[in-house]
Structures are given as C-alpha cells and as structure tokens.
Amino acid sequence: MDCTLVYALVPNSSLETFVAKRAETLARIAITGVAHTMALEDQQVTSELQQQIADYIEDHISERDLWSRK
C-alpha cells in the first residue's frame, strides 16, 4: 500500500467562537469574585449588573490576556 498516515486535530467550532468563550469564562471568574466580596459587605450584585460587567470585560479584554491566565 502506498499511503500516508496523518494525525490531525479538527476543531469543533470556529476560532472566533473559542476566543469568545474564553473571554466569557474569564469575565465570569472575575464577576464571581467581585460578587462574593460585595455580598460579604451586604451589597448584592444583581444579575443584570453582572451581565453588564461581563459584557464590558469581554469587549475590553486584550487577546493576550486570554491565554496568560488559567
């Protein structure tokens, strides 16, 4: 047989989707910490405000920062 064996990783979604999900994950981590601290101070963060903050972080986080944090 004259053939070539190839191993390949094929993504399940686009790069844009992957980057957006990573930004959302980091935003949620940041929001969770802030919300917990504010709850300790009896200043609850509404889900609407959490979403606004998450959207802001996603829009303003640099791509370099997406991969430098775990």
Q: What one-character-per-residue DSSP string does the chain give?
A: -----------SS-HHHHHHHHHHHHHHHHHHHHHHHHHHTT-PPPHHHHHHHHHHHHHH--HHHHHH--
Question: In tens digits, what is the pLDDT along the chain, a chain of 70 residues?
Answer: 899 999 999 989 998 888 888 888 887 787 777 777 777 777 776 777 777 777 777 777 766 666 676 5
Using CA atoms in the order 34, 36, 42, 45, what is the torsion angle rounded to 10 degrees?
60
Residue 64: its pLDDT value, please? Answer: 65
Residue 63: its pLDDT value, please? Answer: 66
Residue 62: its pLDDT value, please? Answer: 66
Residue 69: its pLDDT value, please? Answer: 61
The model's pTM = 0.55
